[in-house]
Structure 1
């Protein structure tokens, strides 16, 4: 429902429009499906580009903590503290007969690092090229199959030890798109043409196995065209595929330089019992673990009904499908070695094993999420990117924080604690364009976001947002923050937190400048540190309103007056109480009360008094004007609500 609030303000008897509020995007009190808090003042760095960028990428090197930005004709190295530019390398397109003035740009699409060498590739005026930088341009090479011809074409890249894996079109029209080992120490290997149908590659990830490196796999996440063209079928199917790192391709007479270990399976996110699925994979974040079996895949999906979902998968469960499922369309005895097996000499694999990979690479069984029956998180927000940070809390446990970004710069911070998501906050990054790239600096707890016009840096430890009280800090359930003698600060070992359930019983019961009384019952005495605000006297008959700030959208707000409780009228960041016309019963004390989990809090206290005997004033008209100037509101709220339904 779309609701429009129309306000008039009186000055000296003259009514004027003062506010028109569209509440279509206003969160609803008490719902757990919205951010608890709308944060502000969390942008801690960044810079503007000299000119707008059609396409940018971010590359973060975890070992060195260095961040790089690739744009049109340049690569920037950012300072590791303030994320300012410390180095700029210009890589303009090489002019040739294909390079016309209007397209003669080199849009950087790949940045990878091999030891001390920065490997960079770009469109190079529709003639893909790569460069090695350290610290100057050392050499360059042809880049077809690594960089796309145009930045709008699908591509991805992945460095694995000394090798580069990439997916990029082999033709200028964007066709012949496949995943390859394209450069490095090992032989180049590519895909068989019939394995995928018009794929859109999302990401690729190398999962290490320290105890058995010969079993290490490269996992590829993508969506492809559905072979089922019936009206009720979604045009896309989401997939996970994998190849062995040690795969060198087949023998010279069969499958030479083609993956012998390629297998794929359907990635399912949705409600299996209702056969309702989110089929369009949008983004993936792979959270690696010391034990490869604990590695988890966080996948972001969209649907044909304009909803998005996050499903979480276990790499072990994915491997179980590849190791144990039958092969779709194959009804004979499974040969030995099993198709897809990692062997040290793939060129010696028997023909019957490689033939199954060639003709039947798809698994019959589907890959289900760890929650199986439902996605971990479903939303109507148009999320486009996902990152996951791992944070150690006061209780020494590690918690996962999902960072979900919409295309136009809203970032939701979501706690994964058990099977239920908890939406901590929403940060809106002011911008004039959509998010192009996003990287997490987990060491510094910063989120770096690239737009067409600028780079913005978001502080994930914005604990000042919960600094009103210990209860406010604890209710946030933000593992980045804990309550200390200095207020809500970045988490320290002796801080106060309750990430598991957010109950405020862990807070001290004494009242100080930074704490408020924890009221466990509605009839508990109000906290003494909330000032009672005595308003200027108001005459009878005039409209009037009271307001208090919204500290949490997960709380339920009410106004209490004369032993009566009234719901709050929500105005995005404020809670209102409207009096259409002041009567004798309207005078007295009012409390704006919030209730969240085990915490009941008086946010504001007012005392409304009557303006007496205004007929005896020397200027009755002046008195009426003064009364009106206090805050005289005429509101067509009831009509607006009814007409909007």
Structure 2
């Protein structure tokens, strides 16, 4: 639930009432660091409501073939990527249900990978993991499900157990427990054309695998590696040591294990190193790796790893690494705990015939797989982004901006169903917007559709899609440029998806290129008469109010990076923020309170008149002409019948001090 931060009512000496209501998850106006510029609830462009809630779901998206699959409980759904309706439903019932002794006997999907000639689906199968091959339809016939593999070591026994999977050139790699207790968790090559290999038990300590990624090297495919990202229990149990250490490990794609006499079917190329995210000068680190997104590049060394970390002090951070920097550690660092001469070939090197490696090299991998040096982020002395929000998942998109440069956009999912859209432009993050997809629901899965510029998000009750280039929400050139949204640029026809001829400034949101007459007239220095005359007559809301009654004005917040003020004659007063509105409260209408009120927002030298009110005095001739105050129910019915600007602009409400106090008690 949204938690109340503070409420107070202050009666000053002149009996003016001031109320302030704030919430810990609502940004403070004018604050820019770690706060979204814009809050939005209208990014959702489609989705699918499940008939039955899923305790766990997996998304699989094949961008090349525009195929979207959702694996849930007892079924896999194929969705249309245009409107996300169900094309086909494939039932996957648990087998051997009579053997289930604990928990629900269901088939909960945990793995979906494109494997060889089919979609490979694995699940819990009532605590007896089972995998299937889902073949594509031929000649418009239905898909066919064929039982294929016993799933132990690929799927966990229950969906809450840790697992990870990856397919590479027809080979399946996975990490999943070998028994119902969740033990023997290690990364293996489990199936395919190459030899099955697995890890040596002493290499990791109670690991939690986060992701695995294959990085291609077109010029040297035999030197390609598979990178494994995980966290493990710290063997240092001293009080000051963090209980977790985050790691990156690698194995060679061509690794076929050792000889028959030594290390047969074991990785001969496994090496691991510590991933550092934090402030090294203060010895302050984010040690719990939470999620990974790998942004592949044309030049393999430039491939970027975006890593999401949490800490013991309830903060999260994003650190960015390059594969080139990771390889630098694996190829040049000394080996932790080893002080003798390093054998040749160097342990961890990729060789076509791993069975021919000398015993000394394989022994080094067996007993000293950890690098002495740590892998630092590209920003080295600090994370790219630190926040008090509890992020759980990350995805990253690339966008070519109007300046023809490519920018990366991070999408960070919170634990309460929100998505933060963060611009990476230079070394400083900029939070473009926050989108509330659902009310306080945990995000189970998230897939980026970069081609269609959509983010697909899975919840227990539904699939939601978020439009990444919702440019029509920026109504002026200044709004469009200040947003620093690489998906959008200002054109003659308005704010539109980025085009070469558009106006855009992603580095600092400089609006100097906007052809706005309002900006050229320097609105900060204009007289009140000039300011009012520039507003269309029909943009002013006129209200007739009797003397002596309390009254408040409401102004919608367009940007949380702006500062809002109310202007009345020569007087200026700050707005009283209440969630997504700025209020101006008049405790009792007097002669000096009538006239014009303007709500102004000021951001980076740009002043915008958001709304204008004209208050005129209402003269009551007789008591018989005074209408009885409407009840809240009657007011709601009246508002629901209106089809005018009141549906866009928050309505003005007559209140008494007692009503204000009663309203506050509702929070």
1:245 correspondence with 2:253: yes
Deviation at 1:493?
2.7
Q: CA RMSD in A?
A: 2.7
Deviation at 1:102?
5.2
For 1:180-219, list aligned pairs within 5 A.
180-219=188-227
* Alignment correspondent of 1:24: 24
Comparing 19-28 with 194-203, which one deviates more in the overlay? Answer: 19-28
- Alpha-carbon deviations, 1:144-180, whole Å to 9, x = none? 1111111111001001111111000111210000000
Comparing 592-601 with 324-333, which one deviates more in the overlay? Answer: 592-601
Deviation at 1:52?
1.4
1:598 pairs with one of 598, 605, 611: 605
Deviation at 1:579?
2.2
Aligned-partner Cα distance in 2 for 1:130–1:638 = 61
Change (3 A) 1:431 1:609: closer
Deviation at 1:610?
3.9
Alignment coverage as a number of residue pairs: 621
1:304 correspondence with 2:315: no
For 1:467-546, list aligned pairs within 5 A.
468-510=475-517, 517=519, 520=522, 522-524=524-526, 525-526=530-531, 528-529=534-535, 531=537, 533=540, 535-546=542-553
Residues 98 and 127, structure 1, Cα contact 8 Å, conserved in 2: no
* Alignment correspondent of 1:126: 127
Comparing 50-59 with 427-436, which one deviates more in the overlay? Answer: 427-436
Residues 21 and 577, structure 2, Cα contact 8 Å, conserved in 1: no
Deviation at 1:274?
0.9
* Alignment correspondent of 2:432: 424
* Alignment correspondent of 2:623: 619
Deviation at 1:278?
0.8
Aligned-partner Cα distance in 2 for 1:50–1:534 = 46
Residues 56 and 108, structure 2, Cα contact 8 Å, conserved in 1: yes
Change (3 A) 1:636 1:243: farther
- Alpha-carbon deviations, 1:460-505, whole Å to 9, x = none? 1212221x21211121111112222332222233232222221122
* Alignment correspondent of 2:113: 112
2:571 pairs with one of 558, 564, 567: 564
3-state SS of 2:89 partner: strand
Comparing 173-182 with 352-361, which one deviates more in the overlay? Answer: 352-361
2:171 pairs with one of 163, 177, 181: 163
Aligned-partner Cα distance in 2 for 1:21–1:360 = 58
Aligned-partner Cα distance in 1 for 2:381–2:60 = 36
3-state SS of 1:2 partner: strand
1:555 correspondence with 2:556: no
* Alignment correspondent of 1:632: 654
- Alpha-carbon deviations, 1:295-354, whole Å to 9, x = none? 101111111111111111111111111111111111111111111111111111111111
Deviation at 1:259?
0.7
Aligned-partner Cα distance in 2 for 1:194–1:479 = 47
* Alignment correspondent of 1:40: 41
Aligned-partner Cα distance in 1 for 2:35–2:133 = 46
2:616 pairs with one of 585, 609, 612: 609
Change (3 A) 1:97 1:578: closer
Deviation at 1:594?
0.8
Change (3 A) 1:277 1:520: farther
Deviation at 1:506?
1.9
* Alignment correspondent of 2:649: none
Aligned-partner Cα distance in 1 for 2:49–2:223 = 45
Deviation at 1:620?
8.1
Aligned-partner Cα distance in 2 for 1:494–1:128 = 55
Aligned-partner Cα distance in 1 for 2:25–2:393 = 21
Aligned-partner Cα distance in 2 for 1:488–1:73 = 45
3-state SS of 1:505 partner: coil
Deviation at 1:68?
0.9
* Alignment correspondent of 1:10: none
Deviation at 1:598?
3.0
Residues 5 and 21, structure 2, Cα contact 8 Å, conserved in 1: no
**Which structure carries more relative contact order (alpha carbon 8 Å, separation 6+)?**
1
Aligned-partner Cα distance in 2 for 1:631–1:172 = 61
* Alignment correspondent of 1:73: 74
Aligned-partner Cα distance in 2 for 1:109–1:608 = 62
Aligned-partner Cα distance in 2 for 1:224–1:145 = 19
Q: Which runs of 5+ in 1 are unaligned?
A: 8-18, 511-515
1:385 correspondence with 2:393: yes
Please give the TM-score of this superposition, normalised by the length of structure 1.
0.91
Aligned-partner Cα distance in 2 for 1:638–1:270 = 46
Change (3 A) 1:622 1:96: closer
Deviation at 1:136?
0.8
Deviation at 1:88?
1.6
Aligned-partner Cα distance in 1 for 2:622–2:659 = 36
Deviation at 1:394?
1.5
1:320 correspondence with 2:328: yes
Q: Which runs of 5+ in 2 are unaligned?
A: 11-18, 136-142, 636-651
Change (3 A) 1:63 1:631: closer
Deviation at 1:611?
4.4
